[in-house]
Amino acid sequence: MGESVQEQLAEAHKYRMNGAYEDAMALYRQVLEAEPDHAEALWGMGLSLMNTGEFDEALAALNRAAELEPNNPQYLLDTAMHYTMLGMYEEAKPLFLKIVEMDPSSVQGAKAQEQLAYYD
């Protein structure tokens, strides 16, 4: 029968958080082969790719996740943070602003405000 998508994602996230990026990416790929627009799988894949140095592919996956779920503050924050790490501040700033606009009191809102303080 095989695992459900949620089980695959949970396992993939566990691998990613433990630094087993190749194992995580294999599971994210399985989900994405079945559902190419699965935002959570794209997000996890993007974070894994970033950690393996595949910056362009990582940003493409993170941006796609944020496009698919534009009101998910975590996807927006991670995309903005990756832009920031790569020195792409003009790309990051509108994402940080959107997160603050959505909910300035959330964890993501607080982190976005912290980042925006560097822009003044």
DSSP string of 81-92, one letter each residue: HHHHHTT-HHHH
User: What's the mean pLDDT in 96-113?
Assistant: 97
User: What's the mean pLDDT in 52-81?
Assistant: 97
Judge contact between 21 and 52, C-beta under 8 A: yes
Give CA–CA dist 85/53, Å, rounded: 12
pTM of the prediction? 0.93
Question: What integer best gives the mean pLDDT of the chain?
Answer: 95
The segment(s) of the chain belonging to CATH 1.25.40 are 1-54
Residues in the chain: 120
* CATH no., domain 1-54: 1.25.40
